[in-house]
Structure 1
Amino acid sequence: MMSLFRSHNFRSGWKMVSFYTVGCMSGSSLDGIDLCYAEFTGAIVTDKWQYRILKAITVSYDSDWKSKLRSAKELMGEDLIKLHLEYGHFIGKTVKDFVEQEGIKNLDCVASHGHTIFHQPNLGYTFQLGDGETSAYYLKQPFVCNFRNKDVALGGQGAPLVPNGEKFLFNDNEICINLGGIANIGVKDLQGYDICPCNYVSNKLAAIHDPKLEYDPNGEISETGIVIKEILDKLDALHFYEQPPPKSLDGEWIEAEVLPILDISQNSIPDLLMSYTEHVTNRLTEACKLARDSLHAENKLIPETVLKVLVTGGGAFNKHLIRLLEGKLQDQGFILEQVDEVTIAFKEALIFAFLGLRCLLNQTNVFHSVTGSKADSVSGSIHRPAHYVNSDSRIIRYLLEKNKDRQTSCT
């Protein structure tokens, strides 16, 4: 069995430690479950970390699962509980198959975001599908999920969570944008928040245009359309955009506030897609400008610094959207940073792997500066494997050794 921590002279200097984790992410765009197996190497005392993605795949949802997830919010109590358990089985089996098929031997824990069904932090609740105890049945390592509820209980938004990991794994970037079902931004050492709906809307429009499509490939449909100014103005006037961060979005709000504006009975899908792409790139550009202002206000930037904007997530593969965004960012003095396709596609799953690891190590993984809660927290529900295994004791042993070293240094 591998050691949970690897370091020469570990106890005397607490130099570098390494951990191996699988992260799971299911987003509102319903493209599937992203699985990312990564190594995290860090210096515990300074809390500086690096990552290495070792294997990553997307397990697509079949039509049955897409239907179940789309309609989950309409279920009554008992049926929702049944689906919660069924999805827990699905995640557990999916991770187990991934580990076995990829020949993964070194693994310390698994972490899953789950699939968001309800997210109403202002009303005090959020719910991610996928029962943790059920998923843990299939695994030989601790399983961590349910990352949002504690932060909501502390008065926070419980989202977005990705910026909480970006501050460690992507700390060379002042601004990170993720283009998932919902686009969000992380501003280095300051804040993070949801910007606007993204793939959630464009995927729906593409599927209406052609039922065989799950998304607009490279923005090819959008590129043939024109901007409908009346629709663009209505989108830009949505009250959410006037609210200051912290703030977050969910599918219910999108269905109620955004989709009715995109009237398919009066407008062509290409024109609606083009109008929405224009809206998204405008909102992203405005968010970057506000981020730069915040960084300057906090004296975190040297004057005249040209900021690089790291863009990841499924929407980053939409070449038409990225061309529009790059042009608008350049006009405002930003540079769009290019990264490898694996990082673009699997950054969210990577970060949940890291947030789960921090939970097990009893390190803060959700920050009030991002979510607006009353306090930082160590968030996530820990579910042990069905049978006692060494991975559990390794984590306990690591924490005991860490605590012992602290006591020694204080005497």
Structure 2
Amino acid sequence: MVSFYTVGCMSGSSLDGIDLCYAEFTGDIETDKWQYRILKASTVSYDSDWKSKLRSAKELRGEDLIKLHLEYGHFMGKTVKDFVEHGDIKNLDCVASHGHTIFHQPNLGYTFQLGDGETSAAYFKQPFVCNFRNKDVALGGQGAPLVPNGEKFLFCDNEICINLGGIANIGLKGLQGYDVCPCNYVSNKLAAIHDPTLEYDPNGEIAETGNVITEILGKLDALHFYEQLPPKSLDAEWIEADVLPILNTTQNSIPDLLMTYTEHVTNRLTEACKNVRDSLHDENKLKPKNVLKVLVTGGGAFNKHLIRLLQCKLQDQGFILEQVDEVTIAFKEALIFAFLGLRCLLNQTNVFRSVTGSKSDSISGSIHRPTHYVNSDSRIIRYLMEKNKDRQTP
């Protein structure tokens, strides 16, 4: 058994900021059994300038997008460096970042996460890993969601994991995973229209005062995406083009729209849980009387109104909603990207075709070496060399 120390970085479509998670991973590449401890975690919120830049990035011409790619690389590097220094983090083997998604069109063969890796690497004395999606897309996969690939190892005691971020996704012990529906991306926009001082609907309090608009709920549920079988993934462009126009804010009150959309999200998530359970039954991987536990994390898990609705619907269908600490709720995605980066450096598969639908499993991520050679940079390499030596010893 050996322990590695990694910082993971996550920026989602809801534009809350950069989630940073410093974690210890203990395990062994021979058994591939792993445990984790979150040692420090923090969210660095985007200021209005960065929110504006990220929202408008997809409209930029080529040269300006390259400039922003480099600028965000510097921003990421400085942000993580400050986190490490102010947190007095001494033991660190690598840093891993998801980046910030600007384009995601896997069916057209491309995805793009902002943040130049070589630029960010200039700030560290350890390897920096990013660009986790492109190889999977090149192999014909969706390149998303990636979190279920880490849940396979770190949350294997949880049958179903749901993440409520800008987009809600579901994972089943690394056996399956896909994007279910837009979540905070939509509700945050509606809350900001209702009150420009709000970045989200606190505890779902605005939604709770509204009523479900049956006609709009029907249009949302009829979207073609929900008819597609997994693997499948969503992007901001689809949400802007297909979802937001249905939520007419000039003809309907924001509380009613928020309540309607909350109903939509909880319906889609409940249906996804039922479909996952049915697939397990069909493959004889679940006994008929098994009650599945559902772990819900991500920013949307702090929306008390949404969670109450979801819990009632899941219980009616025979599921149990698990309780979890607030740190795990808030930083699970950053934690998992820290782990995916570590697996990349350890030459271990970190993206599975059962989740993304690609031609094969892969070791994904671009590794950027630090500016100068230091002992900590070689720690993972030394571990791999020792393992290789042990294999060759008769």
Contact 1:34 1:349 in 2 (8 A): yes
CA distance in 1, matches of 2:285, 2:155: 16
Partner of 1:247, secondary structure, is coil
Deviation larger for 36-45 or 86-95:
36-45
The offset of 1:388, in angstroms, is 1.1
Partner of 1:249, secondary structure, is coil
Contact 2:148 2:174 in 1 (8 A): no
CA distance in 2, matches of 1:71, 1:318: 27
CA distance in 1, matches of 2:283, 2:155: 20
Q: Cα distance 1:189–1:33, how it changes in 2: closer, same or farther (>3 A)?
A: closer
CA distance in 2, matches of 1:100, 1:46: 34
Deviations 1:85-119 (A, max 9, x none): 00000000000000000000000000000000000
The offset of 1:188, in angstroms, is 2.0
Deviations 1:247-304 (A, max 9, x none): 0000000000000000001000000000000000000000000011111222222220
Contact 1:17 1:44 in 2 (8 A): no
Partner of 1:186, secondary structure, is strand
The offset of 1:189, in angstroms, is 4.2
CA distance in 1, matches of 2:379, 2:286: 42
* Structure 1, unpaired ranges of 5+: 1-15
Contact 2:216 2:260 in 1 (8 A): yes
2:256 is matched with which residue: 271, 274, 277? 271
Aligned to 1:231: 216
Deviations 1:37-85 (A, max 9, x none): 0000113221011100000000000000000000000000000000000
Aligned to 1:338: 323
Partner of 1:225, secondary structure, is coil
The offset of 1:398, in angstroms, is 1.5
Contact 2:151 2:174 in 1 (8 A): no
The offset of 1:174, in angstroms, is 1.1
CA distance in 2, matches of 1:302, 1:172: 16
CA distance in 2, matches of 1:297, 1:402: 40
Partner of 2:248, secondary structure, is coil
CA distance in 2, matches of 1:64, 1:119: 23
Deviations 1:20-49 (A, max 9, x none): 000000000000000000000113221011
Deviations 1:102-147 (A, max 9, x none): 0000000000000000000000000000000000001111000000
CA distance in 1, matches of 2:284, 2:335: 30
Are 1:156 and 2:112 counterparts? no
CA distance in 2, matches of 1:331, 1:24: 36
* Structure 2, unpaired ranges of 5+: none
Aligned to 2:115: 130
1:178 is matched with which residue: 149, 163, 176? 163
CA distance in 1, matches of 2:174, 2:47: 39
CA distance in 2, matches of 1:44, 1:332: 38
Q: TM-score, normalised by structure 2?
A: 0.99
The offset of 1:220, in angstroms, is 0.2
Deviations 1:347-391 (A, max 9, x none): 000000000000000000000000000000000000011111112
Contact 2:36 2:154 in 1 (8 A): yes
The offset of 1:392, in angstroms, is 2.1
Deviations 1:204-252 (A, max 9, x none): 0000000000000000000000000000000000000000000000000
Are 1:304 and 2:289 counterparts? yes
2:93 is matched with which residue: 83, 89, 108? 108
1:53 is matched with which residue: 18, 23, 38? 38
Aligned residues: 393
Contact 1:165 1:351 in 2 (8 A): yes
Aligned to 2:173: 188
CA distance in 2, matches of 1:173, 1:244: 23
CA distance in 1, matches of 2:235, 2:391: 42
The offset of 1:329, in angstroms, is 0.2
CA distance in 1, matches of 2:180, 2:319: 18
CA distance in 2, matches of 1:170, 1:339: 12
The offset of 1:163, in angstroms, is 0.2
Partner of 1:388, secondary structure, is coil
Partner of 2:156, secondary structure, is coil
The offset of 1:406, in angstroms, is 1.6
CA distance in 2, matches of 1:230, 1:58: 38
CA distance in 2, matches of 1:70, 1:331: 39
Contact 2:182 2:239 in 1 (8 A): yes
CA distance in 1, matches of 2:275, 2:175: 12
CA distance in 2, matches of 1:358, 1:168: 11
Deviation larger for 301-310 or 169-178:
301-310
Partner of 2:27, secondary structure, is strand
Contact 2:128 2:368 in 1 (8 A): yes
Deviation larger for 386-395 or 49-58:
386-395
CA distance in 2, matches of 1:390, 1:241: 50
The offset of 1:397, in angstroms, is 1.5
Contact 1:87 1:129 in 2 (8 A): yes
CA distance in 1, matches of 2:145, 2:31: 25
Contact 2:174 2:355 in 1 (8 A): no
Contact 1:142 1:391 in 2 (8 A): no
Partner of 1:366, secondary structure, is coil
CA distance in 1, matches of 2:175, 2:62: 39
Deviation larger for 39-48 or 193-202:
39-48
